[in-house]
Chain A
């Protein structure tokens, strides 16, 4: 299980990479492992507004449907257009090619609510018990 140091993490198992005012968002290695084989994704459109902790998209495994939650609020400025055709990238490279959307943040203070890699690793360990 990987927990890259340069990312921040939400309780809903999304990761965030902050570059200036833009947050790249994806699901964590733990999340993809729990979901199993991902076969479908539903993404927002560029320009859509998203709110922290609200669902902005859907991932479906063979068995189940799960919402993806926005870790921060803002405007969607880019979506990973390769994902709908290749949803398995979420399993294979959840921190890389499996990124989901980029959000132009409207409140940088929200980043304070996210976890560090070490905190998230501990959070996952507790959830597993």
Chain B
């Protein structure tokens, strides 16, 4: 099992660990609800060093990334990032990623931990003349998230954070250590993701927790990360996204730029768009007691019409919510469905996504 450089720090904080994609990661320190609330109301600090980093380098870097991903890098300047997807020729999703344009000859992809090797092999196979480097071991990644995140980080850096727009990034010093600071996150709150050398991770972790003390910051584990992303309806690979689901089915058509003349999966996705979807991802809210969970079937008129991909009791909303795929004829908001929970069909309703969106 892999461990991040912060394993000892998590242990000292009383973390409970879980196996996540081959990594022994903190799932919670005190309580998922407590950590969730800290991120929504104040600030939380996550160790997400298990995430992979793959770089495309050389004169062909941007062109190769254009062919490999469904979003349009033509919209990016140096120092800007975008959410994107690696797709197969079938349109199935290899992974969902963040694409950072460092320069015209350097594109850094942040990928899911459990997919790092699969992605690397896929990208290396479709390199289009770019050099492909798996840099995962060179980076630790800390996510500082919550309404107080910017205030906390400001005190530790000479970078002018107000100049770094959402989805932009910059390189500079944090607490005296070199880091790449991206205005990104996976919680639905404002926040920053800090890429640093593994040897600097502990120093930065401690400095951020100390700087955050006056805002009652919490170290937060993967448990809270999951409930936070689910409320914001951000997909999780292996749940909402797989090699067998397409971005259009997953409600990510805004990511797919058909205006790009060529990218892997374009033809299949275009065909799917023209023919129409047979299934789609929807938000589900329970109308009777019960919590939807991954794998539970969705029922309509005693017929199975889909399955839940993620579910929990939303800490912010206080009600049971889930994401799931249903027949596209049943995807309209307000549609009454049932979820088979341990052999009993419990009422649920299709609701608008996201479940939670922060006030700007």
Chain A residues within 8 Å of B, Cβ to Cβ = 36-37, 39-40, 42, 58, 60-63, 65, 84
B280 interface hit (Cβ, 8 Å): no
Known contacts A39-B291, A40-B289, A40-B313; is-contact A58 B28 (Cβ 8 Å):
no
Q: How far is the CB of A113 from chain B (nearest CB, A)?
A: 27
Q: Among B31, B313, B315, find the residue whose CB has the most chain A CB atoms closer than 10 A.
A: B313
A63–B289 contact, CB under 8 A?
Answer: no
B272 interface hit (Cβ, 8 Å): no
B31–A37 contact, CB under 8 A?
Answer: yes
Which residues from B are CB-within-8-Å of A37? 31-33
B293 interface hit (Cβ, 8 Å): yes
Which residues from A are CB-within-8-Å of B16? 36
Q: What 5 A-B pairs are tightest by C-beta distance, nearest first?
A: A39-B313, A62-B32, A37-B33, A40-B291, A37-B31
Offer 7 A-B interface pairs, CB within 8 angstroms, sorted by A: A36-B28, A36-B31, A39-B291, A40-B313, A60-B313, A62-B313, A84-B289
> Could you mark each residue 125-155 of chain B with 1 if its beta carbon is under 8 Å from any beta carbon of chain A, else 0?
0000000000000000000000000000000
Given A37-B32, A63-B223, 13 more A-B residue pairs with CB atoms under 8 Å apart are A36-B32, A37-B31, A39-B291, A39-B313, A40-B290, A40-B291, A40-B313, A42-B342, A62-B33, A62-B223, A62-B312, A62-B315, A84-B289
What separation, in Å, do the CA atoms of A60 and B293 have in the docked complex? 10
Which residues from B are CB-within-8-Å of A65? 291, 293
What separation, in Å, do the CA atoms of A42 and B32 have in the docked complex? 21
Chain B residues within 8 Å of A, Cβ to Cβ = 16, 27-28, 31-33, 223, 226-227, 289-291, 293, 312-313, 315, 320, 342
Which residues from B are CB-within-8-Å of A63? 27, 32, 223, 226, 312
Which residues from A are CB-within-8-Å of B227? 62
Closest chain B residue to A84, Cβ basis: B289
Where chain B touches its partner, the secondary structure class is: mixed
Q: How far is the CB of B313 from chain A (nearest CB, A)?
A: 4
Which residues from B are CB-within-8-Å of A40? 289-291, 313, 320
Which residues from A are CB-within-8-Å of B313? 39-40, 60, 62
Which residues from A are CB-within-8-Å of B342? 42, 58
What separation, in Å, do the CA atoms of A40 and B290 have in the docked complex? 7
Closest chain B residue to A91, Cβ basis: B31
What separation, in Å, do the CA atoms of A49 and B290 have in the docked complex? 23
What separation, in Å, do the CA atoms of A37 and B315 have in the docked complex? 10
Closest chain B residue to A62, Cβ basis: B32
What separation, in Å, do the CA atoms of A84 and B288 have in the docked complex? 12
A60–B33 contact, CB under 8 A?
Answer: no
Q: How far is the CB of A90 from chain B (nearest CB, A)?
A: 13
Q: How far is the CB of A124 from chain B (nearest CB, A)?
A: 15
Which residues from B are CB-within-8-Å of A58? 342
Q: How far is the CB of A63 from chain B (nearest CB, A)?
A: 5
Which residues from A are CB-within-8-Å of B33? 37, 62
What separation, in Å, do the CA atoms of A87 and B227 have in the docked complex? 18
Which residues from B are CB-within-8-Å of A39? 291, 313
